[in-house]
């Protein structure tokens, strides 16, 4: 879905997106429909403020016990979209300020909402996917899921090269 700067009225443009075609299903598994609301507000001829919220029901695999679980992730975002002049698009070494971190430079006065939403999904994905804080994970010796049953494996005590320092502390 593309929106041209000229199509955005002075009071802004609010959209509720029900089309799921933009979602990166080939990389991320969802467990239901995604709910997205965006608001576009023009700030001058060559700048648009994009804000929005999304709720994404995901089907994830727990990193501790490997079981599949569902989790709905909600995310609010705000981006400054600016039409770049030819000098801005030239690659130059530049340190970004905090204000520039949420700025996108566009080559033409057109916003590709589906592309931006897809990028936001990848940015909000959790790095560690845990089904619950109480998840005990798998036994490192026999592979039993410790959430379902207890195994008889002994915890392996490894000698640490820093164990000598513990004796000095006493």
Q: What is the pLDDT of residue 93?
A: 60
Residue 40 has pLDDT above 80, yes or no: yes
Question: In sequence order, what are the residues at sequence separation of 6 or more whose Cβ sits closer than 8 angstroms to the Cβ of residue 23?
Answer: 30, 34, 117, 118, 121
For residue 91, what pLDDT band results from cuts at 50, 70 and 90? Answer: low
Tell me: the pLDDT tens digits for 48-66?
Answer: 999 999 999 999 999 999 9
Domain count, the chain: 1
- Is 121 within the bounds of a domain? yes
Gyration radius of the chain over CA positions: 24
Question: Is residue 87 assigned to a domain?
Answer: yes
Q: Is residue 58 part of a domain?
A: yes
Residue 92 lies in a domain: yes
Residue 57 is predicted with a pLDDT of 93
Tens of pLDDT along 125-143?
889 999 999 999 999 888 8
In a domain, 74, yes or no: yes
pLDDT score of 88 more than 60: no
**Looking at the domain assignment, is residue 81 inside a domain?**
yes
* Domain assignment of residue 140, yes or no: no
pLDDT number for residue 74: 93
Domain that holds residue 128: 2-134
Has residue 109 been placed in a domain? yes
Token pair of 45 as six digits: 């001829």
């Amino acid at each position: 879905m593309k929106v041209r700067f000229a199509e955005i009225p002075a009071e802004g443009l609010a959209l509720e997106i029900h089309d799921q075609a933009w979602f990166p299903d080939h990389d991320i598994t969802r467990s239901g429909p995604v709910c997205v609301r965006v608001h576009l507000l023009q700030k001058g001829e060559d700048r648009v403020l994009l804000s929005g919220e999304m709720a994404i029901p995901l089907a994830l695999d727990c990193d501790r016990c490997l079981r599949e679980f569902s989790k709905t992730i909600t995310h609010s975002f705000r981006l400054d979209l600016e039409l770049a002049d030819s000098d801005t698009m030239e690659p130059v070494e530049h340190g970004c300020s905090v204000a520039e971190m949420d700025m996108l430079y566009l080559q033409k006065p057109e916003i590709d909402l589906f592309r931006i939403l897809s990028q936001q999904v990848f940015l909000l994905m959790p790095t560690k996917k845990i089904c619950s804080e109480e998840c005990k994970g798998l036994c490192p010796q026999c592979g039993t899921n410790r959430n379902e049953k207890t195994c008889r494996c002994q915890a392996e005590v490894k000698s640490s090269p820093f164990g000598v320092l513990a004796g000095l502390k006493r």
